[in-house]
Amino acid sequence: MLHGKKILLGVSGGIAVYKAIDLTSKLTQKGADVKVVMTNGATKFVTPLAFQAISRNDVYTDTFDEKDPEKISHIDLADWADLIILAPATAHLIGRIANGLCDDLLTTILTATQREVLVAPAMNVNMYQNKAVQENLSKLASFGYKFIEPSEGYLACGYVGKGRLEEPINIVKAIEKHFEPKILPLKGKKVLISAGPTQETIDPVRYFTNRSSGKMGYAIAQVAMEMGAEVHLVSGPTSITPPTSVHVYQVKSADEMFEQITKLYNDMDIIIKSAAVADYRPKETFNNKLKKNDQNLVIEFERTKDILKYLGEHKLNQYLVGFAAETDHVLEYGKNKLVNKNLDAIVINDISNKEIGFQSDYNEVIILTKSGKQIKLDRQRKTDVAYQLLTSISEELRMD
pLDDT of res. 383: 87
Q: Residue 304: inside a domain, yes or no?
A: yes
Neighbours of 167 (CB within 10 A): 13
Q: Residue 336: inside a domain, yes or no?
A: yes
Q: Residue 111: inside a domain, yes or no?
A: yes
* CATH, residue 50: 3.40.50.1950
| DSSP notation for 185-215 | TTTT-EEEEEESB--EESSSS-EE--S--SH
Q: Residue 1: inside a domain, yes or no?
A: no
Residue ranges for the known binding site are 279, 289, 323, 337, 341
102 in active site: no
Statement to judge: residues 215 and 116 lie in one domain: no
Statement to judge: residues 321 and 388 lie in one domain: yes
pLDDT of res. 25: 97
> Of 179, 201, 220, which residue is a domain's last?
179
Alpha carbons 225 and 229: distance in angstroms, whole number: 5
Statement to judge: residues 266 and 350 lie in one domain: yes
> Of 127, 155, 179, which residue is a domain's last?
179
pLDDT of res. 333: 86
Q: Residue 373: inside a domain, yes or no?
A: yes
Statement to judge: residues 281 and 328 lie in one domain: yes
- Name 374's bridge partners: 368
- Quote the domain boundaries for residue 305: 190-399
Residue stretches of the chain with pLDDT short of 50: none
Helix (H, G, I), strand (E, B) or coil at 170: helix
Alpha carbons 73 and 69: distance in angstroms, whole number: 9
Q: How far is CA 281 from CA 132, 208, 253, 258, 300, in A?
A: 35, 8, 9, 14, 8
Cα atoms in the Cβ-side hemisphere of radius 13 Å centred on 270: 32
The reply to whether omega before 282 is within 30° of 0 (cis) is no
Statement to judge: residues 213 and 162 lie in one domain: no
Alpha carbons 236 and 210: distance in angstroms, whole number: 11
Helix (H, G, I), strand (E, B) or coil at 276: strand
Pairing state between β 190-195 and 230-235: parallel
Residue ranges for the known binding site for CTP are 279, 289, 323, 337, 341
- From the list 170, 222, 174, the residue with the least C-alpha distance to 382 is 222
Q: Residue 334: inside a domain, yes or no?
A: yes
Number of domain units in the chain:
2
Instruction: Supply the pTM of this predicted model.
Output: 0.66
Statement to judge: residues 34 and 59 lie in one domain: yes
What confidence tens digit (pLDDT) does each residue in 34-46 have?
999 999 999 999 9
Statement to judge: residues 328 and 304 lie in one domain: yes
Statement to judge: residues 155 and 215 lie in one domain: no
Alpha carbons 241 and 143: distance in angstroms, whole number: 9
State the catalytic residue, choosing from 157, 248, 264, 375.
Answer: 157
Collect all residues with Cβ–Cβ distance below 8 Å to 359 and sequence separation of at least 6: 211, 213, 215
Statement to judge: residues 210 and 247 lie in one domain: yes
Q: How far is CA 25 from CA 59, 105, 360, in A?
A: 14, 23, 37
Alpha carbons 7 and 115: distance in angstroms, whole number: 10
> Of 119, 146, 179, which residue is a domain's last?
179
Q: Residue 367: inside a domain, yes or no?
A: yes
- Name 38's bridge partners: 11
Statement to judge: residues 203 and 57 lie in one domain: no
Statement to judge: residues 154 and 231 lie in one domain: no
Statement to judge: residues 371 and 392 lie in one domain: yes
* CATH, residue 260: 3.40.50.10300
Q: Residue 184: inside a domain, yes or no?
A: no
Neighbours of 90 (CB within 10 A): 23
pLDDT of res. 167: 92
